[in-house]
């Protein structure tokens, strides 16, 4: 009886705890948090100085005693304490924005495919430590497929490629389960590093990660674009040690990323090769779905379509597919029980 009363006041949260960004869906309110997974810590006092957008602005600009860190690496928690504090900060922010004080929330959170039971438990424990009551962990490609409204419960072959900050996950889904999958550590962050390495090798220019990401977003593409473009690349000259600006072209950016993009395509093909022929026949007819921030790279759908000879489409608002999927699961307990890989109750 008491639990039923509490449940009426308990907030339901869906979380996409990504390497690059954290998104939180609040039942009845939609997506209320969409901020970078970055935390600034004062190492002298162990105090959290900034989280999210504010902390991202500090990247590469702090004195020695202030550390800007990402508590996740490849979708896995690499710094438990900082991850827990970041989640607690976001939970407090949600509570402050609402007039009514809620009981500890029930949370559904996405986790990468290729992680151990211990790493999965670490995600759940961090959410509990941050203030959650119950936690259900689901696999990210499954959450993304649900968020994109794919018919995952049907006896139909669905393939989704979720390209996040730290990992690219390829999953063939049928009857609410993942039949075949692959997970690789080449995703958005690796493409940024490719641009940084290209700048160093070809222009003797030391480039910051934020600059590299801006270049990727502005003129990055997977295939040749109709109108060539250029973008200013600013960094430190490795010869003189002085600030320097060079114009980089879209073809040069494309050249820097070609090896990583080829690896993603080869892994998609390899996943199709090991999938049951009946499901592959469905996929050939229905096509492949791209989700995650990496899906926004211009022409990536065309590159994959050419290589696999199957139709490719990008999910509506691919950045939010996973968190929208967790939001849908808050209202579908039966489906949640089918796709949950770990449940923790406090």
Q: Is 20 annotated as a binding residue?
A: yes
**What is the sign of the dihedral through the CA atoms of 106, 327, 284 and 190?**
negative
214: alpha, beta or left? (left if phi > 0; alpha if psi -120 to 50): alpha
Q: Is 216 annotated as a binding residue?
A: yes
Q: Is 21 annotated as a binding residue?
A: yes
Q: Is 308 annotated as a binding residue?
A: no
Q: Is 295 annotated as a binding residue?
A: yes
Q: Is 19 annotated as a binding residue?
A: yes
Q: Is 329 annotated as a binding residue?
A: no
Q: Is 293 annotated as a binding residue?
A: yes
Q: Is 79 annotated as a binding residue?
A: no
Q: Is 325 annotated as a binding residue?
A: no
The Cβ of residue 73 has, within 10 Å, a number of other Cβ atoms equal to 15
Q: Is 3 annotated as a binding residue?
A: no
Q: Is 317 annotated as a binding residue?
A: no
Q: Is 165 annotated as a binding residue?
A: yes
Annotated binding-site ranges for ATP: 19-21, 165-167, 213-216, 293-296
Annotated binding-site ranges: 19-21, 165-167, 213-216, 293-296
């Amino acid at each position: 009886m008491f639990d039923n009363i509490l449940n009426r006041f308990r907030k339901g949260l869906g979380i996409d705890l990504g390497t690059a960004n954290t998104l939180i869906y609040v039942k009845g309110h939609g997506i209320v948090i969409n901020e970078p997974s970055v935390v600034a810590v004062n190492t002298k006092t162990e105090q959290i100085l900034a989280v999210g957008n504010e902390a991202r602005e500090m990247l590469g600009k702090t004195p020695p005693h202030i550390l800007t860190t990402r508590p996740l690496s490849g979708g896995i928690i690499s710094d438990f304490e900082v991850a827990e504090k970041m989640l607690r900060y976001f939970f407090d922010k949600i509570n402050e924005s609402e007039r009514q004080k809620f009981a500890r929330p029930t949370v559904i959170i996405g986790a990468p495919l290729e992680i151990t039971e211990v790493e999965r438990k670490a995600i759940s424990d961090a959410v509990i430590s941050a203030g959650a009551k119950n936690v259900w962990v689901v696999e990210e490609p499954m959450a993304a497929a649900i968020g994109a409204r794919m018919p995952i419960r049907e006896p139909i072959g669905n393939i989704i490629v979720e390209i996040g900050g730290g990992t690219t996950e390829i999953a063939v889904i049928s009857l609410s389960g993942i039949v075949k999958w692959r997970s690789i550590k080449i995703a958005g962050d690796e493409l940024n590093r490719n641009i940084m390495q290209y700048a160093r090798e070809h222009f003797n220019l030391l480039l910051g990660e934020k600059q590299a990401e801006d270049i990727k977003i502005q003129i990055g593409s997977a295939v040749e674009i109709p109108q060539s473009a250029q973008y200013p690349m600013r960094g430190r000259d490795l010869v003189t040690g002085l600030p320097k600006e060079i114009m980089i072209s879209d073809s040069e950016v494309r050249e820097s990323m070609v090896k990583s993009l080829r690896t993603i395509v080869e892994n998609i093909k390899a996943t199709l090769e090991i999938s049951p022929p009946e499901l592959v026949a469905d996929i050939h007819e229905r096509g492949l779905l791209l989700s995650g921030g990496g899906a926004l790279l211009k022409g990536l759908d065309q590159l994959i379509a050419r290589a696999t000879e199957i139709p490719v489409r990008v999910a509506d608002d691919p950045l939010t597919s996973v968190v929208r999927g967790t939001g849908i699961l808050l209202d579908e307990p039966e489906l949640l029980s089918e796709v949950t890989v770990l449940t923790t109750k406090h």
